[in-house]
Amino acid sequence: MAKASSGRVVVISGPSGAGKSTLRRRLIECAPVPLVRSVSATTRQPRPGEVDGVDYHFLSQEEFARRRRRGEFLECFQVFDQGDWYGTLRDEVTAGLAAGKWVLLEIDVQGEQAVARQYPDAISIFIRPGSVEELERRLRGRNTETEDAVHLRLKEARAEMAVADRYRHQVINDDLDRAVGEIRDILTQTEKNANA
């Protein structure tokens, strides 16, 4: 008889512009496991169309620092050199796990290391863009980033790709359907192994 499935932490990282958010939305719709998303907190300004509590919990620097002091973050870092903070709220993860869900975190490579220390059985997946040229095209295509921000994100992208080997899995997102399929397979296989 199969064991009752219990929750797992799933971490997705990859350069800004590698299409992680689109992938994440598709995965939540069609995951082979009960996958819920951890909504991160950030001090960066919302982009047009972003909704507080849905895309991120948008916090002031003061509020972020206050919650950090109170130990509310599972992990938090300044992701770009510009001073904006991003972090995973502990409650987002523990509430999902307690309900037997698989909790999806879309965080940077520093965050993944911190999460792996606390959840050693977390499933880590690094999303690669088809190429750096493709990444640059996507970042510029967004039209939400200043030229400096694009450069900063490309610099960060190279640094992130240099540590991709640390992840249990790597998926190239040059074709959305195929990338979603690969991640579905990873989740299915992980669940099978856990129940074996």
Residues 6+ apart with CB under 8 A from 21: 106
- Examine residue 110 and tell whether it contacts ligand 5GP (CB under 6 A): yes
Q: How many residues does the chain have?
A: 196
Among 19, 87, 96, 129, binds ligand 5GP (CB under 6 A): 87
The conformational region for residue 49 under phi > 0 = left, psi -120 to 50 = alpha, else beta, is left
Shortest Cβ 5–ligand 5GP spacing (Å): 25
- Examine residue 111 and tell whether it contacts ligand 5GP (CB under 6 A): yes
Shortest Cβ 79–ligand 5GP spacing (Å): 4
Q: Give the burial string for 88-117 (b: 16+ CB within 10 Å, else e).
A: bbbebbeebbeeebbbbbbbbbbbbbbbbe
Among 9, 23, 27, 108, binds ligand 5GP (CB under 6 A): 108
Of 68 and 191, which CB lies nearer to ligand 5GP in the complex structure? 68
Shortest Cβ 121–ligand 5GP spacing (Å): 19
Residues 6+ apart with CB under 8 A from 163: 109
Q: Which stretch binds ligand 5GP (CB under 6 A): 86-94, 95-103, 131-139, 168-176?
A: 86-94
Cβ 129 vs Cβ 14: under 8 Å: yes
- Examine residue 92 and tell whether it contacts ligand 5GP (CB under 6 A): no
